[in-house]
Amino acid sequence: MPESPALYPKIESFDQGFLKVSDIHTVHYEQSGNPQGKPVIYLHGGPGGGVSAHDRRYFDPEVYRIILLDQRGAGKSTPTASLEDNTTWALVSDIEKLRDHLGIDKWVVFGGSWGSTLSLVYAQEHPDRVKALILRGIFMLRDSELRWFYEQGGATNIFPDAWDKYIEPIPENERDNFIQAYHKRLTGNDEEERLRCAKAWSTWECSTSKLFTDPVEIAKASEDIWALTFARIECHYFFNKGFFKTDAHVLENVNKIRHIPATIVQGRYDVVCPATSAWELHKVWPEAQFEFIADSGHSAKELGTTARLVKAADEYKTL
């Protein structure tokens, strides 16, 4: 897939560091762009996906102080793939610790997929620290969303070939609950089975994330460390229902953030996080800018989605 012309040029970070956030976890962060610029934090997906140099490029480096954070257990954060003391609420706390550590009063918060979940929950917990929200591929970690993609939901009807590979490692007598079956294996002691299941789980998501299947994206799922980190942390969160008390936690708390400027960007043909979730969020939050991207699936790297995300970041430069 060609690179979007909307992206800003490649840049290097001017600062990288580690912040100890608990007795167990140390998170990695980096800063790029303008050191005196307007702060924006990029929250990656998964959970467990980690950040990359590409994630700097949605933001004007002359205007923004661009902060990327590897969440607990992901990317360069340590210990790698650790599930202990790894919850949504711990991540919200980490974001606040990083904001304080960097001496930032308020920032723009940018997140897609699981990053949209974390962005929304962080904003709901700390609305006075958020200048604006840029959200993509809305995911609220509801049971209906998990069933759609990881159980016998709608996604299997669109990608039946990829689905067959996803279910292959799981015995037929456990196929009534794939998240539970995968969780048992991804947290088990059989190292070979753990890695095989991690690659199958990760390949399913990478195979379905774009409107047109991307071999480069799928190849990423064959990398041992990345696949194991991604699958273990993601399945851990889904098995525990995001550590929310209610299934509709995000929607139930939207009133706390309706005053915050926000843009919601949703691929019309997103199979991973189906458009109905973004639409339901839009209906209870009409003040937020909302746009369906007609020729996109789930990935932020699809041309139409990338262009709209960059436009949103440009629009908030004047805040």
3-state DSSP assignment of residue 127: helix
Pairing, β 26-33 against β 64-70: antiparallel
Q: Is 298 a catalytic site residue?
A: yes
- Among residues 11, 28, 10, which one has the least CA distance to residue 19? 28
Q: Which of 270, 277, 282, 299 is catalytic?
A: 270
- Phi first, then psi, for residue 159 (nearest 5°) are -125, 65
Residue 144, φ and ψ in degrees, nearest 5: -65, -35
113 is catalytic: yes
**Is the CB of residue 203 less than 8 Å from the CB of residue 196?**
no
Distance between CA atoms of residues 216 and 301, nearest Å: 12
DSSP string, 15-77: EEEEEE-SSS-EEEEEEEE-TTSEEEEEE-STTT----GGGGGGS-TTTEEEEEEEPTTSTT-
Radius of gyration of the chain (CA): 18
Kindly name the residue from 28, 236, 249, 298 that is annotated as catalytic: 298
Bridge partners, residue 42, by sequence: 68, 110
Instruction: For residue 205, give the nearest of 49, 1, 2 by alpha carbon.
Output: 49
The answer to whether 165 touches 200, Cβ cutoff 8 Å, is yes
Query: Of 113, 202, 207, 209, which one is the catalytic site residue?
Result: 113
Binning the chain into helix, strand and coil, the percentages to the nearest 5 are 45, 15, 40
Q: Tokens 């793939």 label which residue?
A: 81
- List, by residue number, the catalytic residues: 113, 270, 298
